[in-house]
């Protein structure tokens, strides 16, 4: 691969990553603004930028002292920083460096004479841009200022990762809600702790008869028979759900028109982030015909909680015997250390358990050899509170370039881990609901001809029951029905097109 191909590949990866983060051309945000202000103050520089390289421009998510939100890529000094991949890329005097001496920011009104930047790199190694500081006179950074700049750059990436995780979760929740509303044969009802309805999907309206507007705030007693209400069946079901985590309900229920149907239901408690119950979710299906065959079905759903923690960096110095000799004030706060003397000179790997202990020793060994040790693991604070950390260990070199001490920077990534776990739990919860259905279910998209008429549809999602009923493979996802069944009746495609075009559900045999 030649240089042009390599550069094009890097640029394509960068732009794809920026799209995933959804950060370009967004409004200013206080968290990012605070970082550039902190960088400018700590480095005693008038200008600081969070610069993202986007094709033929560099766009600034946050800036202080510069007064612009973007510049052409041709005047970007940051593009040199991301190419070098240095921990801190520094140009002491831009007029004396051939890479920048003719740059418009140097020769023009901006009078940039000093540049220092830290690449903003994703966990997959894609560099998005830099956190940088600039001065109007030649300058330099102390070792402490470089460390602060690196630490703040990591905080930028932590904010970007959290932002992406929250966006992914919102999109997943939106799709899950759309899927639930399309499941017209399933009444999915949520209740508060007193048993009053808080939400009521399209399936519940079809199965039971009342609309959501009619049922909001009404007790679940409404769709139970008078005999079951008298014996306290609704309360017993909620009590069993709280006690056992779920409760099955198979009995006669009444519809709005007072006709009866045999309903097979499942109730589970909804828990808040602290694990306390805040209501219930009830899934109710009409099984009148199946009652005679005594067929029971159950839906599984799992609700998990996650705990969000604040993000911070803990900076420590470790001697070559692996003993802890220094911890920053911010590190003491995030690690909840009230008295550093109590842990000073303790073996640092002992703060980690199991695999984390092995990873800590490996990171120390890498730093002692002159490299960089890196791992992620879980360790408790001194108050016994668990945290997830992203840890980097680097050597502190003596005058002859040999490691004499080790620097460990631990970044609290509990928020990102928690967000990832919540997304995973949300996807697993709804995926389990639909894959356990005994009814065939598929999600598809219409294919239209040049005149706009629906002529085919493509499978986007197929559950095991649909595969069994249709005889199609679960690997049919991504293919169209005419590829799989060329003789398919156009009338069926027209019926699906009508549902899409009108938004009205359709029942047919």
pLDDT in tens, 354-405: 888 889 999 999 999 889 899 888 888 888 888 888 889 999 888 888 889 9
One domain, residues 160 and 54 = yes
More confident: 52 or 310: 52
Residue 49, pLDDT > 90, answer yes
One domain, residues 95 and 66 = yes
Residue 84, pLDDT > 60, answer yes
Rounded distance between C-alpha atoms, residue 503 and residue 493, angstroms: 15
Residue 2, pLDDT > 80, answer no
What b-and-e string marks burial along 398-415, b requiring 16 or more CB atoms within 10 Å of the CB?
eeeeebeebbbbbbbbbb
Q: Is residue 149 part of a domain?
A: yes
- Average pLDDT on 49-78 reads 91
Assigned token pair, 195: 């048993």
One domain, residues 136 and 51 = yes
Residue 138, pLDDT > 80, answer yes
Residue 302 vs residues 214, 437, 461: alpha-carbon distances, Å: 29, 15, 21
Residues in the chain: 509
More confident: 412 or 345: 345
Query: Does residue 375 contact residue 391 with C-beta atoms inside 8 Å?
Result: yes
- Average pLDDT on 117-144 reads 91
One domain, residues 191 and 163 = no
pLDDT tier, 434 (very low <50, low <70, confident <90, very high otherwise): low
> Tokens 């909680």, residue?
305
Q: Is residue 452 part of a domain?
A: yes
82: containing domain: 3-169
pLDDT tier, 264 (very low <50, low <70, confident <90, very high otherwise): confident
One domain, residues 492 and 400 = no
- Mean pLDDT score across all residues of the chain: 82
pLDDT in tens, 299-344: 332 332 332 233 357 888 999 999 999 888 878 888 888 888 888 8
- Which pLDDT score, from 0 to 100, does residue 115 have? 95
Radius of gyration, CA atoms only, the chain: 30
Strand (E) positions, 55-110?
57-64, 70-72, 89-91
Assigned token pair, 93: 């005097």
Rounded distance between C-alpha atoms, residue 247 and residue 240, angstroms: 6
Q: Is residue 174 part of a domain?
A: no
Long-range CB contact pairs, 499-503, < 8 A, 24+:
500/446, 500/454
Number of domains into which the chain is organized: 4
Q: Is residue 175 part of a domain?
A: no
Domain-terminating residue out of 115, 139, 169: 169
One domain, residues 364 and 478 = no
Q: Percent of the chain having pLDDT more than 70?
A: 87
The mean-pLDDT minimum among 7-11, 300-304, 464-468 falls in 300-304
One domain, residues 480 and 360 = no
- Which pLDDT score, from 0 to 100, does residue 296 have? 36
One domain, residues 26 and 159 = yes
Rounded distance between C-alpha atoms, residue 357 and residue 317, angstroms: 18
CATH for 271: 3.30.450.20
- Average pLDDT on 278-295 reads 73
Rounded distance between C-alpha atoms, residue 331 and residue 25, angstroms: 34
One domain, residues 155 and 213 = no
pLDDT tier, 184 (very low <50, low <70, confident <90, very high otherwise): very low
Report the DSSP beta bridge partners of residue 461: 443
Q: Is residue 422 part of a domain?
A: no
- Which pLDDT score, from 0 to 100, does residue 307 have? 26
Domain-terminating residue out of 412, 432, 454: 412
pLDDT in tens, 212-221: 888 889 998 8
More confident: 508 or 44: 44
pLDDT tier, 457 (very low <50, low <70, confident <90, very high otherwise): confident
Residue 461, pLDDT > 70, answer yes
Q: Percent of the chain having pLDDT more than 90?
A: 21
One domain, residues 164 and 279 = no
Pick the closest to residue 26 from 8, 48, 52, 55 (CA basis). 52
The mean-pLDDT minimum among 26-35, 146-155, 225-234, 429-438 falls in 429-438
Pick the closest to residue 120 from 190, 53, 177 (CA basis). 53
- Which pLDDT score, from 0 to 100, does residue 130 have? 92
Q: Where are the alpha helices (DSSP H) in 216-340?
A: 226-230, 233-244, 288-291, 329-334
| Burial class (CB within 10 angstroms; exposed 0-12, middle 13-18, buried 19+) of 303 | middle
Beta-carbon contacts of 325 under 8 Å, excluding residues fewer than 6 positions away, are 317, 318, 319, 344, 345, 405
Q: Is residue 429 part of a domain?
A: no
- What is the DSSP pairing of strand 197-200 with strand 260-271? unpaired
- Average pLDDT on 215-240 reads 89
pTM tops 0.85, yes or no: no
CATH for 96: 3.30.450.40
Domain-terminating residue out of 261, 291, 321: 291
One domain, residues 33 and 163 = yes
Q: Is residue 431 part of a domain?
A: no
Q: Is residue 303 part of a domain?
A: no
What b-and-e string marks burial along 418-428, b requiring 16 or more CB atoms within 10 Å of the CB?
bbbebbeebbe
One domain, residues 202 and 125 = no
Beta-carbon contacts of 183 under 8 Å, excluding residues fewer than 6 positions away, are 201, 203, 434, 441
């Amino acid at each position: 691969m030649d240089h042009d191909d390599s550069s094009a590949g890097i640029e394509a990866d960068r732009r794809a990553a920026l799209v995933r983060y959804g950060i370009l051309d967004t409004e200013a945000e206080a968290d990012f603004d605070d970082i550039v202000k902190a960088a400018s103050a700590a480095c005693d520089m008038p200008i600081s930028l969070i610069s993202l390289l986007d094709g033929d421009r560099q766009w600034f998510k946050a800036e202080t002292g510069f007064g612009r939100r973007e510049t052409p890529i041709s005047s970007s000094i940051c593009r040199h920083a991301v190419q070098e991949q240095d921990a801190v890329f520094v140009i002491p005097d831009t007029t004396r460096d051939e890479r920048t001496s003719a740059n418009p920011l140097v020769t023009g009104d901006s009078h940039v004479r000093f540049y220092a930047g830290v690449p903003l790199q994703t966990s997959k190694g894609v560099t998005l841009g830099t956190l940088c500081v600039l001065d109007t006179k030649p300058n330099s950074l102390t070792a402490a200022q470089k460390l602060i700049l690196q630490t703040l750059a990591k905080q930028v990436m932590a904010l970007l990762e959290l932002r992406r995780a929250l966006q992914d979760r919102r999109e997943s929740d939106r799709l899950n809600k759309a899927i639930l509303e399309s499941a017209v044969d399933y009444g999915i009802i949520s209740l508060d702790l007193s048993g009053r309805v808080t939400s009521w999907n399209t399936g519940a309206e079809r199965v039971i008869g009342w609309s959501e507007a009619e049922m909001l705030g009404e007790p679940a007693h409404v769709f139970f028979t008078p005999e079951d209400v008298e014996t306290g069946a609704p309360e017993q079901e909620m009590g069993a759900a709280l006690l056992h985590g779920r409760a099955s309900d198979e009995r006669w229920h009444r519809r709005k028109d007072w006709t009866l149907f045999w309903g097979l239901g499942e109730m589970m408690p909804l828990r808040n982030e602290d694990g306390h119950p805040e209501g219930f979710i009830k899934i109710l299906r009409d099984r009148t015909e199946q009652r005679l065959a005594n067929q029971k079905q159950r839906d599984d759903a799992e609700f998990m909680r996650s705990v969000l923690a604040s993000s911070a960096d803990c900076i420590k110095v470790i001697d070559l015997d692996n003993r802890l000799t220094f911890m920053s004030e911010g590190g003491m706060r995030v690690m909840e250390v009230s008295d550093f003397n109590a842990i000073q000179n303790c073996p640092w790997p002992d703060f980690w358990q199991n695999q984390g202990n092995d990873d800590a020793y490996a990171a120390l060994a890498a730093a002692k050899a002159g490299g960089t040790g890196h791992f992620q693991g879980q360790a408790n604070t001194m108050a016994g509170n668990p945290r997830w950390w992203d840890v980097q260990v680097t050597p502190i070199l003596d005058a002859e370039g040999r490691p004499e001490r080790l620097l460990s920077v631990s970044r609290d990534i509990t928020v990102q881990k928690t967000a990832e776990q919540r997304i995973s739990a949300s996807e697993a919860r709804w995926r389990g609901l639909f894959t356990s259905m005994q009814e065939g279910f598929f999600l598809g998209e219409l294919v239209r001809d040049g005149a706009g008429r629906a002529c085919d549809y493509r499978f986007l999602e197929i559950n095991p029951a649909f595969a069994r009923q249709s005889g199609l493979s679960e690997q049919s996802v991504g293919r169209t029905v005419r590829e799989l069944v060329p003789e398919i009746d156009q009338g069926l495609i027209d019926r699906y097109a009508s549902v899409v075009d009108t938004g009205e559900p359709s029942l047919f045999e």
